[in-house]
Amino acid sequence: MKYDIEYLPSADHDLEYMGNVLAEYPRMLARIFREMEDKLQLLREHPRMYPIYAHRRKYRKMVLEEYLLFYTIDDNRQMITVCRVLYGKMNMNRQL
């Protein structure tokens, strides 16, 4: 059974910020968004395909080039919640 995907407001904000930062690099931005969409489609059928984030075990981590997408799984609702999408060189512990 496929899981649904929802985005927290913090993830929406992160994606908007990423779009603004990468606006001068439209090909890179399109490539990252395409990669994210492809990976999220696979994730709907295999929600545990990405590893648990060691520093905050409630999250799983998906790598998108230089960005990290953090998500949680709710099996009761069959829902994947995208919590944050952060630049990989940020201090993750302060952002999560």
Mean pLDDT to the nearest integer, 20-43: 93
* d(C-alpha 65, C-alpha 28), whole Å: 10
Would you tell me how many other CB atoms lie within 10 Å of the CB of residue 80? 20
* d(C-alpha 67, C-alpha 78), whole Å: 25
Is pLDDT above 80 for 95? no
CB 91, CB 84: distance < 8 Å: no
Per the DSSP assignment, residues forming a β-bridge with 16 are none
The two structure tokens encoding residue 45: 């059928």
Domain ranges of the chain: 4-95
Model confidence, pTM = 0.89
Query: Where does the pLDDT of residue 11 fall: very low under 50, low under 70, confident under 90, or very high at 90 and above?
Result: very high
Question: 3-state class of 66 per DSSP?
Answer: coil
Class of domain 4-95: alpha beta
Query: Where does the pLDDT of residue 96 fall: very low under 50, low under 70, confident under 90, or very high at 90 and above?
Result: low
**pLDDT computed for residue 80 by the predictor:** 98
DSSP state of 22: T
